[in-house]
Amino acid sequence: MLFVGINPGVRSAQTGHHFAGFSNRFWKLLWDARLVPEPIDYRSDDRLPEWGFGITNLIARPSPGIDDLRPAEYVEGWKVLERKIQRNKPEVVALVGVTLYRAIRPALDGGARPKHRAVSLGLQPETIHDARVFVLPNPSGRNANFSYAEMLAAFRRLRRTLERIEAERG
């Protein structure tokens, strides 16, 4: 499975690790949802492959917030991400943030203007090169759209989805 963030924050760029912001709850959510077998933090992001996870960003350039990103960066980032997915063939691509999903949905729909439907967390109808698409809430402390309980419920749904895929594989 591949986790995809929108772009690194300033602290992630400074530390060289994903989801390193002081208020970011990504690593706590991984543990609380039992996606990883032990508590880890951003300094252990290189251990994710031990548990079958990869991690990347749509846009490599760090910024204090997504308002600083340019539309062309999304387009170029999608091209790079698509190649990573083709090369690594994850079964699930977990988009970390509804905003990220909305940004790439036109590419998933073949460039067509997407139908106006509400975005819900969880599995989506689209796939990316046969990988299922799962939308998670953005765990940044600046994200006031979801409570911790709602975020945790989404991460637990991801765990159950991965368990189901594993069981189907036999």
- Number of structural domains (the chain) is 1
Confidence of residue 71 (pLDDT cuts 50, 70, 90): confident
Could you tell me the pTM of the whole model?
Answer: 0.92
Of 141 and 17, which is predicted with more confidence?
17
> Does 114 have pLDDT greater than 70?
no
Q: State the virtual CA torsion across 46, 32, 92, 43 in degrees, nearest 10.
A: -10
pLDDT at 113: 57
pLDDT at 129: 94
Confidence of residue 40 (pLDDT cuts 50, 70, 90): very high
Of residues 82, 44, 85, 80, the one with CA closest to residue 60: 80
Q: State the virtual CA torsion across 129, 160, 51, 40 in degrees, nearest 10.
A: 120
CATH assignment at residue 88: 3.40.470.10
DSSP per residue over 62-73, as a string? --SSGGG--HHH
> DSSP character for 81?
H
Kind and range of the H or E run holding 28? helix 26-32
Where in the sequence is the domain holding 35, given as residue range(s)? 2-169
pLDDT at 89: 96
pLDDT at 9: 86
